[in-house]
Structure 1
């Protein structure tokens, strides 16, 4: 767990909302799935308690109902602040930056902000967990576990911020392909350059004209996004699958159908 030096003040005080900007719009079920994917795929997150921030690395897991579990040393400053914040609605702020898992320009996709209530993790919650979630909890550092129950969720995208409905968020499940997106994209890039060339040929020539390379930058159950990179910028093009993919094993078939 990596912490800021000795309780360095956060850029903004308290757990007040982010800087003024466009008002959040009403969310859709797809936004709730996106929020769950951001949390599940993230290796790190930023925790804010009052005026103190801590960057937690490989120290969180997500329960099936969307509750965030944090592993924080009870004897640390952050642990003490969690004790003080326990039970206070919206007293804990969690920020996650979602990056494209590819070496390209403009990698930031989404910024997720969650205001929540901290409670001690109840081991009884394990009864409602699937084996994969149990394993993710066992992989956490062997320190005190805290459950952060979301009270407010904001998914900030390039276009406009979205206030995610809590009920929809809790009922959502991460996209079965997006949670392993980095591994899938790395495999495609490393082992299937010919397939990527064929996919690139599906892109409108008016969009791909002048591109120096075509890079896969996003992948989920419903399609793949290629980026046409040019010296002066880029364009992202989404190619949708004929049918949603329900597991990684079906990805190759979906790509073949797309090419066919």
Structure 2
């Protein structure tokens, strides 16, 4: 079994691999590109455990035509995903991921290696033809930098354990405010609008927005978080205003 990259050293290549898997895992849409043709797919993809991306696309649609034309051509398809901060702030784009891959019809034998969550995600896709895009190159753009992510590291990585619930808790922080939060010195002195912009297993990122611009600062958790109950506890330690999120109403978009 391949090692779990999220448990390896904390080097930048590993963090980039985890970040890339996280973006792909939670995105609701992506762009498929062949040559000069691009088509957006909405609610029509999911991640497979080995890092391949499953697409649900009718072969008789324009998007299906792209997949048919690119089928079995090494690196014949590009998938592009944009990750945005899920709460209202300036400069919401935080990452762009490009996966160049080879398209094949999804092999039913692949399901033998899928966990229950992946099977459920596949069943939630539209009831049309299933395709798999096997990555041959992965690129991550963020913070004005662009880096190649090693395919082996990408395949071995897993999404951040909080990726699926990050947006819920960011909205909760926005609704309840950040009263009582002990801020890093550069945020405390900025006198700007303060907003939470990211949560991952190791900490909370806050942004201070002023007329001159913005900057981010990170508040590390006391210990690495891998479950929702642990996240609620760590956030409560940072600010007593936070409780478990109210799931009786949808989050604002």
Query: Smaller-chain TM-score range?
Result: 0.7 to 0.9
1:27–1:162 contact (8 Å) kept in structure 2: no
Residue deviations 1:151-181, cap 9 Å, x none? 0001011242111111111111100112321
- Aligned 8 A contact 2:179 2:239 in 1: no
Q: Which residue number in structure 1 is paired with residue 201 of structure 2? A: 221
How far apart are the structure 1 equivalents of 2:41 and 2:191? 38
One of 229, 235, 243 as aligned partner of 1:255: 235
Whole-Å Cα distance in 2 between the matches of residues 137 and 109 of structure 1?
A: 27
Match for 1:73 among 44, 55, 58? Answer: 58
The aligned residue for residue 92 of structure 2 is 107
The correspondence for 2:138, drawn from 149, 153, 156, is 153
Residues 156/247 of structure 1: CA separation in 2 closer, same or farther (3 Å cut):
same
Give me the whole-angstrom Cα distance separating, in 1, the residues matched to 2:93 and 2:137: 22
Distance 1:81 1:159, change over 3 A: closer
Please identify, of 230-239 and 86-95, the stretch whose mean Cα deviation from structure 2 is larger. 230-239
| Number of residues of Structure 1 aligned to a counterpart in Structure 2 | 230
1:211 to 2:195 alignment = no
Following the alignment from structure 1 to structure 2, what is the Cα–Cα distance between the partners of residues 103 and 127?
41
Report what 2:183 is aligned to: 202
8 Å Cα contact 1:35-1:112 kept in structure 2: yes
Residue number in structure 2 paired with 1:245: 225
Q: How has the CA–CA distance of structure 1 residues 237 and 27 changed in structure 2, closer, same or farther, with 3 Å as cutoff?
A: closer
Distance 2:213 2:68 in 1: 48
1: CA distance between counterparts of 2:164 and 2:56? 21
- Unpaired runs of 5+ residues, structure 2, are 1-10, 241-253
State the alpha-carbon separation in 2 of the partners of residues 120 and 81 from structure 1.
13
Question: What is the SS of the residue equivalent to 1:225?
Answer: strand
Q: CA RMSD in A?
A: 1.8
**Whole-angstrom distance in 1 between the partners of 2:120 and 2:70:** 28
Q: CA deviation at 1:187?
A: 2.0
For 2:212, the equivalent position in structure 1 comes to: 232
Q: Deviations over 1:81-104 (max 9, x none)?
A: 211211111100001111111111
Match of 1:95 in 2: 80
State the SS of the aligned residue for 2:137: strand
Q: Are 1:84 and 2:69 matched, yes or no?
A: yes
Equivalent residues in 2 for 1:111-130, closer than 5 Å: 111-130=96-115
1:57 aligns with 2:42: yes
8 Å contact kept, 1:27–1:165? no
CA distances 1:174-211 after superposition (whole Å, capped 9, x unpaired): 00112321111112222x32xx2222x3231x433353
In structure 1, what is the Cα distance between the partners aligned to 2:201 and 2:188? 24
Deviation larger for 228-237 or 63-72: 228-237
> What are structure 1's unaligned runs of at least 5 residues?
1-25
